[in-house]
């Protein structure tokens, strides 16, 4: 039991330690501005990854318009900061107000996108989220220069951005707090049940409508928060940033981290952001595209390797968890169907639901018997 | 009269969209997956035309079609075939990865700057005060021929009927002696060849190409396929033509021209909300 409890807090511990170390470094004056910018970007990527993970990993709906929610948050946050910062003269108060409005508006958008999600599934929903992302981008791109800056982008006011990364990381902790507690509650189990089998979930009396909407709204709110923070870290909010490729990048992070694995998402977010900024700084001009090539190859290899039915035996043989299990005393049960916090891989829905019963097969009879049964 | 020209232009553009949408919809119908990399096969075709254009335009077009077909088959064999039977989400993400891969390879090979590809200067047809580009007319006629031909092929040829069988029930089709893997490969080949043709017509309309040349047409054609009902061949045609006409009419009105993309995507969402399987899509009942 102790082991499991420790696992629950690993994400907080991870982010908390990183925040603490860099906060101390920053107050000692050992942190350059360029590094702080990197930290801000990492924190924003983490928020996006965790919120997208809620939709893709736990709710099981593919969303390729996550940048759209962020776009809403960024533009509204930028607008409010440009109004409030001159009046209040304080970046922090303006930030709080921006977060409130940006998150709320992104949440409303999440509700709107969640509505088609009730009727549509899988591929159809994916194209709807993509369409939403593009619509939002085009609307902001063509806004008048007085309202949202139009094609030139929305300039954000100048103020002291020192220590902004601490706020970003605190927001990551808030995101983790909300998403983890949601997932580990009764509602979270309902959400994962919908992912695993919607019909079965409906049959057990889970309100699919409600939970799908909740998933989309929560994810959208935190993407909105990330957008607001993004607008505060940038001198200019431009709609080109929030294109289709940006949504894909978030998806890459979630997939690389392992779907439905928040710790993995956090690490992947940090790694991808660092690699991104490192490669962009080092590689000249057109060669910067090598980064995209790398992404693409990693994405294909990781997904094909971890999902191909033909490679299943190979995967089980060289599984990291199994290798570690050899060294630890209490070996993990290979059946992960009872673990609701990860995507079940060994559970076979068709086998459970099929009505074919093999009668005269002593081998199968033995295997089917529960362990406690005598 | 202005309206008529816009309508003809719209039909011509819609014809191109329909051709790309056919690739999406056939692959979806048979392999039950969204081939997100389909848009980038158009781009590959465009660059092939650019490479072989100095030799001869006809050679360039044929080379583009052959190369795209090969690319389509290779993508299917390397990236999608190992995932047959895996979760749809995994396949979709791999497809996105392939799309990224093609774009970045093209950018490394040809640079990110746009290149000009002037295949032929066809001039315009003038009837009284009306002026329509010959390229528009050729596009319209060719796309109609391709669509009708494909429809006949699927309905009456042995391979086409095997395709229908595979799309309805893979297991049963296999029991009837149909080589499912071959049929899926042929589907990808046909879709990619159509994408190469589409790149030709796009270059006739606007003779410049970049590595992201295929991305937006790809997404739009995908939208068209979904509007028509993905998996249905007549649906892809109807959806493509509809989308093309809407785009041209929206662009002809200066006030709403910048919002063209937003309008098209809004129409997609509205249609899906009213009819979740698209205009001509069949409703599939889910079995437990």
- What is the least distance, in Å, from the CA of A248 to any CA of chain B? 8
The 10 Å Cβ neighbour count of residue A92 is: 13
pLDDT number for residue A83: 85
What average pLDDT score do residues B230-241 get?
89
DSSP classification of residue B254 = T
Strand runs (DSSP E) across chain B, as ranges? 115-116, 124-127, 130-133, 208-209
pLDDT number for residue B213: 86
Contact: B272, A116; criterion CB under 8 Å: yes
pLDDT number for residue A286: 60
pLDDT number for residue B284: 63
Nearest CA in chain A to B37: A296
Q: Which residues from B are below 8 Å from A120, CB to CB? A: 272, 276
Whole-angstrom CA distances from B266 to A112, A134, B178, B197, B239 are 12, 10, 41, 28, 14
Q: Does B92 touch chain A (CB under 8 A)?
A: yes
Of the partner residues A130, A199, A296, the one whose CB lies closest to the CB of residue B288? A199
The whole-angstrom separation of Cα A198 and Cα B153 is 38
B 23-42 residues with CB < 8 A to A: 28, 34
3-state secondary structure A213-227: HHHHHHHHHHHHHHH
- Residue B23: strand, helix, or coil: helix
Q: Does A303 touch chain B (CB under 8 A)?
A: yes
Q: Which residues have C-beta within 8 Å of that of residue B71, sequence separation ≥ 6?
A: B41, B44, B102, B192
Residue B90 confidence class, pLDDT cut points 50, 70, 90:
confident
Q: Which residues from B are below 8 Å from A308, CB to CB? A: 82-83, 86
pLDDT, one tens digit per residue, over B191-213 is: 999 999 999 999 988 888 988 88
The token duo for A332 is 């993990």
A310 lies in some domain: no
- Residue B74: strand, helix, or coil: helix
A373 lies in some domain: no
The whole-angstrom separation of Cα B140 and Cα B205 is 12
The token duo for A32 is 């350059």
Whole-angstrom CA distances from A223 to A53, A128, A174, A210, A245 are 11, 17, 13, 20, 16
Nearest alpha-carbon partner for B38 in B179, B166, B191, B154: B191
DSSP classification of residue B80 = I
The whole-angstrom separation of Cα A93 and Cα A85 is 8
Q: Does B208 touch chain A (CB under 8 A)?
A: no
A319 lies in some domain: no
Whole-angstrom CA distances from B133 to B2, B32, B121, B126, B204 are 14, 38, 10, 9, 10
Q: Which residues from B are below 8 Å from A287, CB to CB? A: 108
Q: Does B103 touch chain A (CB under 8 A)?
A: yes
Nearest CA in chain B to A304: B83
A304 lies in some domain: no
Residue B2 confidence class, pLDDT cut points 50, 70, 90:
confident
pLDDT number for residue A60: 85
Task: Answer yes or no: are the C-beta atoms of B116 and B207 closer than 8 Å.
Answer: yes
Core vs surface per residue B41-72: b (16+ CB within 10 A) or e: bbbbbbbbbbbbbeeeeeebbebbbebbbebb
A 263-282 residues with CB < 8 A to B: none
**What is the distance of C-alpha A306 from the center of its chain?**
19
- What is the least distance, in Å, from the CA of B103 to any CA of chain A? 8
The token duo for A249 is 């990048």
pLDDT, one tens digit per residue, over B20-48 is: 999 999 998 888 888 888 999 999 999 99
A314 lies in some domain: no
Contact: A299, B272; criterion CB under 8 Å: no
Q: Which residues have C-beta within 8 Å of that of residue A39, sequence separation ≥ 6?
A: A22, A165, A168, A169
What is the number of structural domains in chain A?
1
- What is the least distance, in Å, from the CA of A135 to any CA of chain B? 4
- Residue B167: strand, helix, or coil: helix
What average pLDDT score do residues B58-78 get?
93
A 328-367 residues with CB < 8 A to B: 353
Of the partner residues A128, A308, A310, the one whose CB lies closest to the CB of residue B269? A128
Nearest alpha-carbon partner for B95 in B4, B158, B178, B27: B27
Of the partner residues A127, A141, A296, the one whose CB lies closest to the CB of residue B226? A127
pLDDT number for residue A328: 53
Of the partner residues B79, B100, B272, the one whose CB lies closest to the CB of residue A292? B100
Task: Answer yes or no: are the C-beta atoms of B58 and A271 closer than 8 Å.
Answer: no
pLDDT number for residue A364: 46
Helix axis angle, B180-205 relative to B38-52, nearest 10°? 60
Q: Which residues pair with B116 in a beta bridge?
A: B208
Q: What rounded mean pLDDT belongs to chain B?
A: 88
pLDDT number for residue B67: 95
DSSP classification of residue B283 = P
Question: Which CATH number belongs to the domain containing residue A24 in this structure?
Answer: 1.10.3470
Element (H, E) at B271: helix B260-274
pLDDT tens-digit profile, chain A (374 residues): 455 667 778 888 888 888 888 888 888 877 777 888 888 899 999 999 999 999 988 988 888 889 999 999 999 888 888 888 778 777 778 888 889 999 999 999 999 888 877 777 777 788 888 889 889 988 888 887 777 877 778 887 776 677 788 889 999 999 999 999 998 888 888 999 988 888 888 899 998 888 988 999 999 999 999 999 998 888 888 888 888 888 888 888 888 888 788 898 999 999 888 888 887 777 666 666 777 788 788 888 888 888 777 777 777 777 666 666 555 544 444 455 555 555 555 445 555 555 544 455 445 444 444 444 43
pLDDT number for residue A351: 53
pLDDT, one tens digit per residue, over A198-253 is: 888 889 999 888 898 899 999 999 999 999 999 888 888 888 888 888 888 888 88
Domain with A119 in it: 9-286
Contact: B87, A307; criterion CB under 8 Å: yes
A203 lies in some domain: yes
Q: How many residues does chain A have?
A: 374
A 118-177 residues with CB < 8 A to B: 119-120, 122-124, 126-128, 130-132, 134-135, 138-139, 141-142
- Which residue is listed with tokens 């392992």? A258
Q: Does B232 touch chain A (CB under 8 A)?
A: no
Q: Does B121 touch chain A (CB under 8 A)?
A: no
The token duo for B102 is 């093609």
Contact: A120, B86; criterion CB under 8 Å: no
Whole-angstrom CA distances from A2 to A88, A181, A262, A322 are 48, 19, 20, 21
- Which residue is listed with tokens 């019963």? A357
Q: Which residues from A are below 8 Å from B259, CB to CB? A: 138-139, 142
pLDDT number for residue A179: 92
pLDDT number for residue B21: 93
């Amino acid at each position: 039991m102790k082991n499991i409890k420790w696992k629950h807090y690993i994400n907080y511990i991870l982010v908390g330690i990183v925040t603490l170390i860099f906060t101390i470094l920053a107050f000692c004056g050992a942190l350059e501005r360029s590094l702080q910018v990197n930290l801000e970007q990492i924190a924003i990527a983490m928020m996006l990854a965790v919120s997208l993970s809620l939709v893709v990993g736990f709710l099981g709906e593919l969303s390729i318009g996550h940048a759209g929610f962020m776009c809403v948050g960024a533009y509204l946050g930028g607008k409010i900061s440009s109004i409030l910062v001159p009046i209040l003269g304080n970046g922090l108060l303006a930030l709080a107000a921006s977060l409130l409005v940006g998150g709320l508006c992104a949440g409303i958008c999440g509700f709107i996108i969640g509505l088609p999600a009730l009727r549509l599934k899988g591929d159809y929903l994916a194209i709807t989220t993509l369409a939403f992302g593009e619509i939002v981008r085009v609307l902001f791109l063509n806004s008048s220069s007085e309202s949202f800056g139009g094609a030139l982008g929305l300039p954000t006011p100048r103020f002291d951005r020192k220590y902004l990364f601490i706020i970003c990381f605190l927001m990551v902790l808030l995101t983790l707090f909300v998403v983890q507690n949601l997932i580990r509650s009764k509602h979270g189990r309902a959400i994962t049940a919908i992912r695993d089998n919607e019909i079965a979930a409906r049959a057990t009396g889970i309100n699919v409508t409600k939970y799908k909407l909740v998933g989309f709204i929560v994810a959208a709110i935190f993407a909105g928060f990330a957008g607001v923070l993004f607008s505060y870290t940038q001198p200019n909010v431009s709609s080109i940033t929030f294109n289709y490729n940006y949504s894909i990048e978030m998806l890459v992070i979630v997939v690389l981290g392992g779907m439905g694995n928040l710790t993995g998402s956090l690490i992947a977010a940090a790694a991808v952001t660092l690699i991104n900024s490192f490669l962009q700084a080092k590689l000249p001009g057109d060669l910067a595209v090598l980064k995209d090539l790398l992404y693409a190859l990693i994405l294909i290899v990781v997904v094909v390797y971890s999902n191909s039915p033909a490679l299943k035996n190979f995967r089980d043989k060289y599984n990291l968890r199994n290798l570690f299990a050899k060294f630890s005393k209490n070996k993990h049960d290979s059946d992960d169907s009872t673990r609701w916090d990860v995507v079940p891989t060994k559970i076979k829905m068709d086998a459970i639901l099929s009505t074919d019963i093999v009668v005269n097969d002593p081998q199968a009879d033995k295997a089917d018997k529960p362990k406690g049964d005598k | 009269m202005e309206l008529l020209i816009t309508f003809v232009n719209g039909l011509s553009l819609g014809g191109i969209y329909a051709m790309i949408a056919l690739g999406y919809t056939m692959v979806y119908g048979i392999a039950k997956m969204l081939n997100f990399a389909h848009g980038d096969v158009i781009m590959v075709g465009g660059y092939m035309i650019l490479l072989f254009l100095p030799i001869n335009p006809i050679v360039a077009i044929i080379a583009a079609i052959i190369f795209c077909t090969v690319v389509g088959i290779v993508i299917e064999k390397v990236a999608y075939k190992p995932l047959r039977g895996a979760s749809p989400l995994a396949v979709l993400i791999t497809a996105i990865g392939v799309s990224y891969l093609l774009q970045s390879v093209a950018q490394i090979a040809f640079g990110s700057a746009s290149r000009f590809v002037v295949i032929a200067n066809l001039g315009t047809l003038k009837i009284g005060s009306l002026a329509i580009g010959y390229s528009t007319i050729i596009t319209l006629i060719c796309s109609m021929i391709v669509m009708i031909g494909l429809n006949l092929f699927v309905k009456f040829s042995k391979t086409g009927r095997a395709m229908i069988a595979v799309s309805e029930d893979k297991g049963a089709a296999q029991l009837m002696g149909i080589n499912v893997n071959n049929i899926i490969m042929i589907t990808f080949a046909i879709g990619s060849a159509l994408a190469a043709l589409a790149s030709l017509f796009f270059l006739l309309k606007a003779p410049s190409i970049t590595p992201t040349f295929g991305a937006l047409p790809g997404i739009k054609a995908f939208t068209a396929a979904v509007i028509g009902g993905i998996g249905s061949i007549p649906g892809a045609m109807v959806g493509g033509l509809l989308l093309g006409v809407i785009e041209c009419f929206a662009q002809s009105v200066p006030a709403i021209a910048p919002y063209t993309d937003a309008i098209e995507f809004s129409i997609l969402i509205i249609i899906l909300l009213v009819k979740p399987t698209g205009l001509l899509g069949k409703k599939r009942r889910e079995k437990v």
